[in-house]
Each structure stands twice: as structure tokens, then as C-alpha cells.
Amino acid sequence: MQNPMPERLLYELSAPGRRGVRLPESDVPEADPLPKKLRRDEPAPLPEVSENEVIRHFVRLSTMNHHVDRDYYPLGSCTMKYNPKLNEVVANHPWFADLHPFSSTRYSQGALQVLYELGEMLKTITGFPAVTLQPPAGASGELTGLMLMKKYHQERGQGERNRVIIPDSAHGTNPATINFAGCEVVEIPSGADGTLDPDALRREADDRLVGMMVTNPNTLGIFESRITEISQIVHDAGGLMYLDGANLNALLGFASPEKMGFDIMHINVHKTFSTPHGGGGPGAGPLCSVDKLDPYLPTPVIREEDGTYYHDWVRPKSVGKMHGFYGNFLVLLRAYAYILATGKDGLEAVARAAILNANYLRVLLQSDYELPYPDRCLHEVVFSADRQAKHGVKALDIAKRLLDFGVHAPTVYFPLIVHEAMMIEPTETETKETLDRFIEIMRRIAKEAEENPELLHDAPATTPVRRLDEATASRKPNVRYEN
Ligand SMILES: *Cc1c(COP(=O)(O)O)cnc(C)c1O
């Protein structure tokens, strides 16, 4: 076979007669052959390859993209922590993996118990008395939450309330969700220290308010220290407080969203409770809330009575169903395994180490990169590439150059309020040596920006593909290895 291109050489590995496995001689009588019309005229064109080549092929493919099992992955806001392999063993166990979603309650008591107990754990962690596990992602949790908030106002005869306030540092899903829920986005500016400004909020808080969506710690990684005052202003206007709980990793064991004055929040369990999520799914976005929103939670809700678990479908005020079946069960199961294995003290240790690691980077990278909000941070820190911009180097160039060192880039150009933003979330599962290596690489790149900016404009030079047109790559992906 001709292999005109090197890429082809890497994929066209088949050679006639080569084998991966040899099947034993059949020890049962041969069955009648299929009727002729159901049979192929020619054998299927399957590759003929040895086991060795198959293994090498897939191992090679698995290292062409960056992933958290390959090297460091400080992608801000995404919490790319290590995902214990034990959770995969649990989620792949046939007792769970083979359970049909339509199995009767009687034959799925174990699975229902897992879901029920996970719900109880999430209530304890957040301080809220009500929970649903149904939304399949953070953004879906946001939508469900807003639907609940709207329904709450409707039930009280205030269905005309239509505005939702967000700060200018909000994650992109927040305004998108608000639009999707048919509400109006009202954006307020953050204060000079990067936190919520009560005066800016007061100007917008009135009887048109459905509520406010807040991330705490915010997307700068800074704790909203005036959050109880903020909650009070929203509540005084008759609105509800929604917490985008994507940054729960920083609060575990320390802080109760309920005590901060929030009424409802989602949890990105794939982030905080360690489901592999680099490829975009599946995830889960359970919602926890105060009692007054409980009647509107999606159906069904799991209940327990005398040691028996069941689905409660009789919820006349519910917003209905938000996802097929009962949510992404195997993601929720991983979260359950993670929380059980980590324990209460372990969860607190997770938050401590995540915060310590981010502050370590904050202090040691300040000499080389602009730090627009220099206060102590929680689990992530946002730098700016403004100093490098003087040499014509942008945050995107730095992000691409990092790939040459085998490290994933931070989140760049978010939050929007930081010019040339680089948002770094080290997570708790990295060693000091890994953080030191990252610091060394970042310092070297800062030096390269001064001395040889062209090098950064051309990066990455060592990856399987060079700089892509990212919009086209995601809208019209070309996944063929030949043109
Ligand atoms: C990840 C994230 C979301 C969205 O969560 P998904 O599970 O990806 O839908 C929302 N807000 C913040 C701050 C996030 O980091």
C-alpha cells in the first residue's frame, strides 16, 4: 500500500494477514449460515494490525491532546483537578453501569440510596435544606434555578418581575441563562477592588427584580466580603439571591452559602467533585435551595421512608422535568464516591490546599506579570499580560507558548474586566514541584517576550498542530487525517 504522506503513515497501519488475536478453534457445531441476502459480498475492510500496533496507536492518540492525566492543567474556573481512578472503578461497576434507567424502584434501591445520600451530603456542604440532582451541567442548573425563582414570584402574584442583576465579572453562562429564561440582564460594575459594589447594586435593586446571580469567590478568585450586605439589598427589593457555585472548591468545609444570604445555588459536581470533564461532558449541576423554593424543584424528587427509597412525582407546583430520567447518574455516583472517600476533614483540606496553591503562584509570579487585583485570592488568581503587551506579546501568545512546555494554558481573556487576562487555577492536587516548574516556565516566557517576541508569535512549535483558527476549528472541525 502506498503511504504518500507522513500522516497517512501514522494511521494506515494495516498489512494483509497481520493479526492482533488468534481465536481458538470452535468447539461447537457450526450454525446454519445467514441467508445470502443478509451476508456481505466481500469481507469488511477492517484494518489488519498486531496488538502492539493497536496499543501504540491509541496511546499515541491519547497524548496528542493535552489532558489532566498527562500534565499540569491550570485552566481557570474549570477546576481541572486530578480525578481519582477509584471513582472510575465505581462508575464502571456493572451493578451501576448496567442498571437500566427504567428499572423499577424495587430493583434500583441501591442506586436511589446513592442519589438520596448524595443529596443529603450536598445539603450539609451548602447549608441548604432542599436539593435536586437533575440538571446535567452548571449552565442547566442556572436555568433551572432561574425558572424556580420566576415561578416563586409568579406564585406570589409578582410574575411581572423580569430583571436579573449580574456583575461585570460574571461568567458567560450567567447572561446567556438569563436571556434563555426570558429575563432581562442588568449588569453592574465591580468596585475598584474587584468585588461587588453595594452602591451600584442599590441603584438597580427595585420591584422589577427577579434576583441577582453572583459567583463567590468571584471570577477574579476574590471572596465577596460584603456578600451579606449585597444579599440584604436584593432581599429588601423582594429579589432572590442565586449563587453560581462553580467555585465551590474554595469554600468546602469553611463557608456556608446559606449563611451568606443566598437562596439557591448550583454545584458543578464535575469540577468540585472530580468527574473528568476536559472534553465537554457529561457533567451534573445539582441545585440546593432554601425551603421556600422546594415546591418548585423539578420532578421527581427522591424520598426515603422506613429505609425504602422512592420517586416523589406528586409536586403540583414543580417547574417540571429538566433532564431525561433522573440526571446524569454515573457522574453523580462519582461525586458520591469522591465525597465519601474524602470525608469532611478531607474536603476542608481540599479548599485549604487549593487556596494555598493559588496564593503561592500569586506571590511568586508578581515579579514578572501584572497583577491588577493584588489582594489575597482564594482558589484562583488572575494576571494580566499588559507588561508583555509592550513588546507586542499578547495573553494568547503566552498561552500558546505554554503548550510547547507541555503545560496547558490558563483561561485567557476572561474575566472581561481584566485587560489581557490570564486566569490561573492551580487546584489542590498539584505538588509544590509542579507549581515551581510552572513558575519557572512562566518566568522564562516573560523573558522570551522581552528578548524574542517572534518566538511567542510562532508558538506552539512542538504540538501536533500549530496555531489554529479557533473559531473555525470549533464550528467546522476537520477530524479527518487526510484531506
Ligand atoms: C464552569 C462554569 C459555569 C458553567 O458550568 P457548566 O457545567 O460548564 O455548564 C458557570 N459559571 C462558572 C463561574 C463556571 O466556572
- State whether residue 243 is helix, strand or coil: strand
Residue nearest ligand 1's atom 5 by CA: 138
pTM assigned to the model: 0.92
Output the nine-digit C-alpha cell for 455: 518566538
Burial letters for 250-259: b for 16+ Cβ neighbours within 10 Å, e otherwise? bbbbebebbe
**215 CB under 6 A from ligand 1?**
yes
Cβ(129)–Cβ(294) under 8 Å? yes
For the chain, the structural domain boundaries read 10-64, 87-341, 345-475
Amino acid identity, position 16: P
Q: What end-to-end distance do the CA atoms of the chain give, in Å?
A: 18
Q: Which of 142, 177, 216, 244 has the most ligand 1 atoms within 8 A of CB, as the residue to mutate?
A: 244
Q: Atom 6 in ligand 1: which residue has the minimum CA distance?
A: 138
Distance of CA 246 from the midpoint of ligand 1 (Å): 6
Length of the chain: 483
Looking up cell 442547566, which residue turns up? 140
Report which residue type is found at 175.
P
Nearest to 171 by CA among 414, 413, 421, 471: 414
- Superfamily name with CATH number, domain 345-475: Aspartate Aminotransferase, domain 1 (3.90.1150.10)
Ligand 1 neighbour 285 (Cβ under 6 A): yes
Angle between helices 432-451 and 329-365 (to 10 degrees): 60
Q: Digits of tens for pLDDT over the chain (483 positions)?
A: 333 445 666 788 899 999 988 889 999 998 888 899 999 999 888 899 999 999 999 988 888 889 999 999 999 999 999 999 999 999 999 999 999 989 999 999 999 999 999 999 999 999 999 999 999 999 999 999 999 999 999 999 999 999 999 999 999 999 999 999 999 999 999 999 999 999 999 999 999 999 999 999 999 999 999 999 999 999 999 999 999 999 999 999 989 999 999 999 999 999 999 999 977 778 999 999 999 999 999 999 999 999 999 999 999 999 999 998 889 999 999 999 999 999 999 999 999 999 999 999 999 999 999 999 999 999 999 999 999 999 999 999 999 999 999 999 999 999 999 999 999 999 999 999 999 999 999 999 999 999 999 999 999 999 988 998 888 988 998 888 776
Asked if 205 and 237 touch (Cβ cutoff 8 Å), the reply is: yes
Contact (CB, 8 A) for 69 and 81:
no
Strands (E), 313-443: 381-384, 411-412, 421-424
| Assigned fold of 87-341 | Aspartate Aminotransferase; domain 2 (3.40.640)
245 within ligand 1 shell (Cβ under 6 A)? no
